[in-house]
Amino acid sequence: MIRVRAWGEVTDFLMGRSMGMYVPYTVHAFLVGDTLIDTGAFHARREFMQALAGRRVGMIVNTHCHEDHIGNNAPIRQVFGATAYAREEALPFISDPVRLGLRLYQRVVWGCPDPSRAAPLGVSIELPERVFRVIHTPGHSPDHVCLLEPREGWLFTGDLFCGRTVRYLRRDENFRLILSSLKRLTAFDFSSIFCGLKGRIEYGREALGAKIGFMEELQARVMDLHRKGYPPREIRLRILGREGAMHYLSAAHFSKQHVVDSILSQEEISPGGMLT
């Protein structure tokens, strides 16, 4: 499945694997001029390549190395001759996606990317018509970056923003680092968010503030119950409720319990490491 929509100079490709009439999980990639921000999922390859036909792609920028964001690096590089860029920590996973250690549900929903090559990102991407500032924003993954186009007020957030609330985390995500990275973004001037999960978000600063407020309140509630002696499972039941379908379909890789456990953990994911 693929749907294409233009937001001014930004072309939004919404894609996912069709299972009959059902698409279990979608992801967005964005084309700005000839710069493609993320390449979506392997299982949407045919439709995505058809949607790109007749367009120019000179550069790929991966916000991070997860399989639903690098899934089509290889064919796009082959067909368009595009150069790919990502943070240096991501490069071994792009060149050898087996290192990602994909679980069964990830292979079914998104697929395993083909090996490809990428070069390390610098602090900015300077193009003839615009400049993107590269902002390191770990938490969802150690290599995660956001891209800011200050002239237009565009902020491309990969999988950092993902909506105004958070009720599930992957086992390898870090709540405190996500919150810290979100707060870091408030120092920049932008108006629209382009999110890998949600697409274009108008009034991006307000949406970002709402997300930070939700996470700070959630963290405070978890810590309050913790100080009162409640165990982590009971804290999760009182605040987030029972686990939902995502927990069971991912074999607990996504879980409400991970939110609570990550808040209670004093350990931070090292920006140079990759937890699996």
Determine the topology of domain 2-217 in CATH.
Metallo-beta-lactamase; Chain A (3.60.15)
Average pLDDT over residues 20-35: 92
Per residue in 131-147, pLDDT tens? 999 999 999 999 999 99
Q: In what order do the strands lie in the sheet with 199-201?
A: 124-126, 131-136, 145-149, 154-158, 192-195, 199-201
pLDDT value of position 266: 67
Per residue in 200-209, pLDDT tens? 999 999 999 9
- Nearest CA to 169 out of 106, 243, 232, 262 is that of 262
List the chain domain ranges: 2-217
**Which pTM value belongs to this model?**
0.94
Predicted confidence (pLDDT) at residue 99 exceeds the cutoff of 50: yes
